[in-house]
Amino acid sequence: MDFCILLDCHFNDLKLGETSAKTAQKKVLSLVNDYEDGKWRYSKFQDFIWDNIAETSLSQRERESLGEKPSSLLRAAARNLRLTDKEGDIGRGSELAEIVLYGIMKHQFAALPVVPKIFYKQNSQDNAKGADSVHIVVNDDDFSIWFGEAKFYTSIEDARLASIISSVENSLQTAKLKKENSIITNVCDLDDLCLDPGLTQRIKNALSNQQSIDGLKPKLNIPILMLHECAITNAATVFSDEYRAQILEFHQQRAMSYIRKQIEQLSEKIHLYAEIKFHIILFPVPQKAPIVDKFVSRVEFLRDE
């Protein structure tokens, strides 16, 4: 992944004066794009979106069938988008953010996509609810489950953080988790990942609705992408040490504020909250509108070809 990582650590390692058992399972990842000729590299960011769009817009079998046809792959992916990014301020950028999260999950966490969410949202409204991304990470003969949240905001000040926490709380309700698990086990993508058959069966057993959701909580990871408009990024013209230091300080402060608020609101509401791992992912852009407009324009062009 060709973006600079400013921060990748456990929240407690930041030594911000707030450490406890409830913060121990929280991690922070800060990513930034660079500059060229005095401008933020919009084209590089757009390339990342389109290089990863198939992971969330097409099923495993579709990707394999079109693997040697990159142009056909992009057209098929574009046609599966709902284009909610054309809607009002709340919806704009939502699909784009989901794609960015899938790319980060693939390249940063070596995650396997087991439910391409945009594909299933397009093809079955029953499956449209729930996490914005669903992945499995395999470590030797063990695994973890990742249910992601992806947001693209013009600001990540405190007023915005409340809506993210509400979305996370909703996704962690037992009924929602079991629904998500049933989607994973009922689609064919898990079987198409070419995992060890014994591991695949253990994953299915763990996700079975016959099992208590409590047993899954220690394996549960919630990556929360906050793709956000940033005045610091918009004002900069060079990828300098000063810029990196400013973003690092800003992201530490925002991560601390978010984690504090999430603990306050969810730690007593969500059973076994301390067992769940949360990954706060922050990525600044100079302006949201040009990115979404360019994305929508290219999607429409490909869909009309």
Tens of pLDDT, residue by residue, the chain (305 residues): 799 999 999 988 876 655 566 777 899 999 999 999 999 999 999 999 988 887 777 666 666 666 666 777 777 777 777 665 555 545 678 889 999 999 999 999 999 877 666 655 555 444 345 678 888 999 888 999 999 999 999 999 998 899 999 999 999 999 999 988 888 887 667 777 778 889 989 999 999 989 999 999 999 999 999 999 999 999 999 999 999 999 999 999 999 999 999 999 999 999 999 999 999 999 999 999 999 999 888 888 887 76
**How many structural domains does the chain have?**
1
Distance CA 223, CA 225 (A): 6
> CB within 8 A of 235, min separation 6: which ones?
none
Radius of gyration of the chain, Cα coordinates, nearest whole angstrom: 19
pLDDT value, residue 125: 43
Q: State which residues form the domain around 172.
A: 4-304
HSE-CB of 217 using CA atoms within 13 angstroms:
15
How far apart, in whole angstroms, are the C-alpha atoms of residue 101 and residue 122?
A: 18
Residue 119 near residue 192 (C-beta atoms within 8 A) = no
Contacts of 292 (CB under 8 A, 6+ apart): 85, 92, 93, 96, 152
Spatial separation of the C-alpha atoms in residues 97 and 93, rounded to whole Å:
6
pTM greater than 0.85 (yes/no): yes
Task: Report the amino acid identity of residue 45.
Answer: F
pLDDT at 118: 60
pLDDT for 192: 76
